[in-house]
Amino acid sequence: MSKKLKNVGMALAGITIVGFALTAAISAVGRVLEGTRYKVGPHGKKDDVRINTPFSTSNETYYSSIWSYREEWKSFPGWDNKSQPQKDYINRAITNYQWGYSFTTGEQLTRACSLCWTVGADYANARFPITWPLAKDE
C-alpha cells in the first residue's frame, strides 16, 4: 500500500512539473507570436495580468501572461457567438493594457472585458474607453 501511494505521489509530482514546463513554453511562444509592437503608453508595458482581489470562493488571486489571458477569453463557451465588435473590444482592451493604455490594473481590464461580454462593446467602451488605434513603434 505504501509503495503504491509513493508511486502515485511521484506521478503527480511529475505531472505537475510537466504542466509548469508546458505553461512556460506556451507563454514563451505567445510572446514570440505577439505580433505588432506599439509605443508604450503612460502606464508602462505589462507582460502579465494580475488580479489581486479574490474572484472566487476559493479566495485565490489570479496571474496570467497576456497571451494566456487573451486565449482564456477566446476559450470561453460562447466566444464564437459574440459579435465582432465584442471580440474586437476585448482584444483591443487586452492590447491597451499590455502596452500601457487605458487600464492600470488587471481588475480594471477584467471589469471592462466582462462588461463587454455581458452587455456589449458600445456600453463597455462608454464605461471603459480604450485607445484605438495605438501608435506603432517604428
Which tens digit of pLDDT belongs to each residue from 51-102? 877 655 566 677 889 999 999 999 999 999 999 999 999 999 999 999 999 9
Tell whether the model's pLDDT for residue 1 goes beyond 70: no
Interatomic CA distance for residues 12 and 8, integer angstroms: 6
Would you state the pLDDT for residue 58?
63
128: left (phi over 0), alpha (psi -120 to 50) or beta: beta
Secondary structure of residue 31 in the 3-state scheme: helix
Q: In this predicted structure, what is the pLDDT of residue 33?
A: 47
Between the alpha carbon of residue 111 and those of residues 14, 16, 30, 96, 101, the distances in Å are 36, 31, 23, 14, 15
With a CB cutoff of 8 Å and minimum separation 6, the contacts of 57 are none
Residue-wise pLDDT for 16-64, tens only, equals 565 545 555 555 555 454 568 999 999 999 999 988 776 555 666 778 8
